[in-house]
């Protein structure tokens, strides 16, 4: 825990965003694994792949070393997520609202991290938006496959489109000359709001039919 606190105090704001997103996604993964009655090891594995899956795919596509291989903090964050679910299991495992909140927070924060990292590597913004979306959704796709569910992104309300919208908001803020931290906060908030409104008002894309 001391190492974790020292890390938080020494990283830039984007690092704090990435850490918070990692914990949030880990909680969402562990929570679903607990609902499926996985053992402790299985729950930690599901939480970890949920937290690092999107960023790993992004980094491989960008031809850089996956971020979690450079710092053990992401594994530590996954364990913290597991501990949080263990402590508050009655509230987190049985209710859908906590899952939605943590999944949406993780989604919003990771999209911003993905967009920003891609831009810093010199790629155009259309690539950055795609990479931000991949960062946000792939971990959840892997999580749902592990727990034998149809991935959330394919079956419910607006999810991936919220990521694209957040990426566009970041792009607009960036081109208006806003500070990086402002771009991060506004884009994250935009994704969170779109997800909440999509659930509240049941927004979604038309479903494919077989006839």
Q: What is the pLDDT of residue 17?
A: 75
CA distance 113 to 52: 12
**Predicted TM-score (pTM) of this structure:** 0.84
Q: What is the pLDDT of residue 13?
A: 63
Q: Is 118 in contact with 127 (CB distance < 8 Å)?
A: yes
Q: What is the pLDDT of residue 173?
A: 95
- Mean pLDDT per block of 10 residues along the chain (211 residues) reads 49 69 87 88 93 95 94 89 84 65 85 93 95 94 91 78 94 93 92 90 76 58
Q: How many residues does the chain have?
A: 211
Q: What is the pLDDT of residue 43?
A: 92
Q: Write out the two tokens for 76.
A: 């530590």
Q: What is the pLDDT of residue 159?
A: 85
Q: What is the pLDDT of residue 6?
A: 52
CA distance 68 to 50: 12
Q: What is the pLDDT of residue 168?
A: 96
Distances (CA, A) of 50 to 13, 68, 104: 22, 12, 13
Q: What is the pLDDT of residue 92?
A: 62
Q: What is the pLDDT of residue 7?
A: 47
CA distance 195 to 100: 9
Q: What is the pLDDT of residue 73?
A: 87
């Amino acid at each position: 825990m001391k190492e974790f606190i020292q890390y938080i105090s020494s990283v830039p704001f984007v690092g704090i965003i990435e850490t918070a997103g990692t914990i949030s996604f880990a909680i969402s993964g562990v929570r679903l694994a607990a609902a499926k009655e996985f053992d402790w090891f299985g729950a930690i594995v599901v939480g970890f792949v949920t937290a690092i899956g999107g960023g790993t795919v992004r980094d491989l596509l960008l031809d850089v070393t996956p971020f979690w291989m450079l710092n053990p903090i992401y594994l530590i964050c996954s364990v913290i997520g597991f501990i949080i679910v263990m402590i508050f299991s009655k509230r987190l495992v049985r209710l859908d609202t906590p899952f939605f909140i943590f999944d949406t927070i993780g989604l919003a924060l990771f999209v911003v991290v993905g967009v920003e990292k891609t831009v810093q590597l010199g790629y155009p913004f259309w690539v950055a938006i795609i990479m931000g979306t991949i960062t946000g959704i792939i971990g959840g796709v892997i999580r749902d496959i592990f727990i034998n569910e149809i991935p959330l992104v394919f079956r419910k309300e607006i999810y991936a489109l919220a990521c694209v919208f957040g990426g566009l908001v970041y792009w607009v803020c960036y081109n208006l000359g806003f500070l990086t931290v402002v771009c991060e906060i506004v884009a994250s908030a935009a994704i969170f709001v779109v997800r909440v409104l999509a659930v509240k008002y049941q927004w979604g894309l038309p479903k494919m039919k077989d006839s």
